[in-house]
Structures are given as C-alpha cells and as structure tokens.
Amino acid sequence: MRLRRRLADLAMTGLCALAVGVALVPLASLLWLVVSRGLPGLTPAFLLGRPAPVGDPGGGVGNGIVGTFLMVGLASLLAVPIGVGAGIFLAEEGDGPLGRAIRFVAEVLACVPSIVLGIVAYAVVVIPMGHFSAIAGAVAMALLMVPPLARATEEFVRLVPGTLREASLALGVPAWRTSLRVVVRTALGGITTAMLLAVARAAGETAPLLFTSLNNQYWNLRPDLPTASLTVQIFNFAISPYESWHAQAWSGALALLLLVGVLNLLARFAARDRLGGGSR
C-alpha cells in the first residue's frame, strides 16, 4: 500500500517533469531551425536588398524591413499618445464610471483577434483612400497596440507613490506639470517597457497587413502607398513553391526573430533600472 502510494507520487512527478520537457522541445526545435537554416542566407545583401524575381540569384528583405519600421513608427505615433494617455487617465482619474467603462472596454479590445482589427483598418483607411497603404497597416497595428499599452501604463503609473505627487504640488508645481514631469516621469521605465513590448508585437504581426499595407516589390517610404513588410515577405516566401525562396523565408524569420528578441530584451532592461518597473 505504502509502496503503491510512493510509486504514484513518483510517476506523477515524472509525468510533470516530462511536461516541462515536452513544452521546451518545440521551442528548441524552432530556434535551432530558424538559426541553422536562416543564418547562411543572412548576408548584408539579403538585409539590404529587395526581392529578386524567381530564378534570379540574390534578393533580400531590405524593403520589407524598411516597411516594417515605417509602419511600426507610424503606428507608435498613433498608439503611444492614445495608449499612454488613456493609461494615465485610468490611473489618475479612472475610479469613476467613465474610467471603469474604459478599463473594461480596453480589456475586451485586448482580446479581439488582430485579423478583425485589420478589417476595421481596412474599412476606415483603405476604403476611403481607395487603395492599400502603409498608413492602413499602421492603423491596424495601432489598434492592436493601444489596449495593452493603456493597461500597462495604468499599472505603472499607479505604482508611483502619492507622496511624490504631493511633494511636487507642495512646491507650487501645477497639476499638469506634476502629472507629466513627476508621475509619468517616474513611471517612465515601466511605460517604456510596455511600449517596447507593444512595438515588438506589432512588428511581428502579419495577418492584418495582408489587406491593409498589402506588399510592394520596391522600396517605399511613402505612407500612402502599399508597403512591403518583413512578415508578409516571410509569409510569401514560405508558401511559394521555390526552394530558394524557402531559404529566404528562414533567413527572413531569423532577422525578424532577432528584431523581436532585441525589442524584448530592451523591454526587460528598461523595466529593470527604473522605479516601479521591477515588479513585473
């Protein structure tokens, strides 16, 4: 009897340990393959070039990287003021009915699938403009970034001790400057983390771009034109029937993984050295 209980305990512990292993296998496999298959093709020419026609040697994702940066930048211009502003509002004045409603809606919006938000961007930007564009992609990304930004900003602003605000007000600093230069400034490490995480997520997004920014074989910096993006290029390379494009898909994936990885590391770093950030 005692032996059986011991054995059951041992068996279950073993199974749970196995679960840890099982969870880590796909990660290891994925990272290994992206690195091993992507690294050979990850040349400067690949990072700086634009796609070549099938059969031609060379070709790269440079225009896609530029497009991703362009759209992420535009999206941040839209999303950061709204997301951070809403977060500050929720933290400082968000205890009333309006605040509760906004908090609830932000939470709901955060779980809306990105492809659905893509349709919204399509309706709001693509249809009025009459064609696909970088700005449409950026709007889709911004819709995606705002809710998590707002929630995270609220959390970090709430961590700022009320005594700092009082200290500032008692020095004769007006409320808005106190808010901005003391409260938000103190929470800035955390807010930066939230921004970097949102940017990383937006940079890795593909689905809503398929029918907002579409794609572009050429270099483009104009927000009103269709734009290549790293993710859409990876997708197109991957589903193509050509071996050489598959190789480019892996290299593109490695580039994207590095970009997202760096953003995530920066986010951790930003959270570490500032007040309030370390608690997450």
Partner 1 sequence: MSAAPQASPTATKISVERLDAWYGATHAVRGVSLEIPDRAVTALIGPSGCGKSTFLRCLNRMHELLPSARAEGRVLLDGEDLLSGEVDPVDLRRRVGMVFQRPNPFPTLSIRDNVIAGFKLNGMRGGRAETVERCLRQAALWDEVKDRLGASPLSLSGGQQQRLCIARALAVEPEVLLMDEPASALDPIATARLEELIHELKERYTIVLVTHNLQQAARTSDQTAFFYMGELAEAGRTEQIFTNPRERRTEDYVTGKFG
Partner 2 sequence: MAASLARLPTAAPSPRRSRRAGDRLWSVGLVAAGGAILLVAGLVILVLGRAAAPAFHALGVGRFLAGQDWDPVSGAFGALPFIYGTLVTSAVAILVALPVAVGLSLFLAEMGPPRLRPPVAFAIETLASIPSVIYGLWGLFVLVPWVRTTVEPLLGRLLGWLPLFTGPRIGLGYLSAGLILAVMILPTIAAVTQEVLRSIPPALKEGALALGATRWEMIRIAVLPTARAGILGATLLGLGRALGETMAVTMVIGNAPEIHASLFAAGYSLPAVIANEFAEATSPLHLSALAALALVLLGVTLVLNSAARVLVLLTSRRLGEAS
Q: Which of residues 210-229 bind partner 2 (CB under 8 A)?
A: 210-211, 214
Q: Which stretch binds partner 2 (CB under 8 A): 41-49, 77-85, 158-166, 216-224?
A: 77-85
Residue 48 binds which one of partner 1, partner 2, none, with CB within 5 to 8 A depending on kind?
A: none
Q: How far is the CB of 184 from partner 1 (least distance, A)?
A: 10
Q: Is 174 in the site for partner 2 (CB under 8 A)?
A: yes
Q: Which stretch binds partner 2 (CB under 8 A): 47-55, 58-66, 253-261, 270-278?
A: 253-261
**Contacting partner 2 within 14-53 (CB under 8 A):** 15-20, 22-24, 26-27, 29-30, 33-34
Conformational region of residue 192, where left means phi above 0, alpha means psi within -120 to 50, and beta covers everything else? alpha
**Contacting partner 1 within 185-244 (CB under 8 A):** 185-186, 188
Phi, psi angles (nearest 5°) of residue 68: -60, -45
Interface residue with partner 1 among 13, 81, 166, 219 (CB under 8 A) is 166
**What is the residue whose two structure tokens read 């193509």?**
240
Give the chain's end-to-end CA distance (angstroms, integer): 45
Return the ∠ at Cα 139 (arms to 259 and 250), rounded to 5°. Answer: 30
Q: Which stretch binds partner 2 (CB under 8 A): 4-12, 39-47, 48-56, 271-279?
A: 4-12
- What proportions of the chain, in percent to the nearest 5, are helix, strand and coil? 75, 0, 25
CB 225 within 8 A of CB 134: yes
**Contacting partner 1 within 18-57 (CB under 8 A):** none
What distance in Å separates the CA atoms of residue 14 and residue 237, rounded to the nearest whole number?
42
Residue 166 binds which one of partner 1, partner 2, none, with CB within 5 to 8 A depending on kind?
A: partner 1
| Three-state secondary structure of 51-120 | CCCCCCCCCCCHHHHHHHHHHHHHHHHHHHHHHHHHHHHHHHHCCCHHHHHHHHHHHHHHCCCHHHHHHH
Closest CA to 166 of 156, 175, 154: 175
Residue 77 binds which one of partner 2, partner 1, none, with CB within 5 to 8 A depending on kind?
A: none
User: Cα 175 from chain centroid?
Assistant: 32
Residue 122 binds which one of partner 2, partner 1, none, with CB within 5 to 8 A depending on kind?
A: partner 2
Q: Is 5 in the site for partner 2 (CB under 8 A)?
A: yes
Catalog residues that contact partner 1 under the rule CB under 8 A.
161, 163-164, 166-174, 177-178, 181-182, 185-186, 188, 275
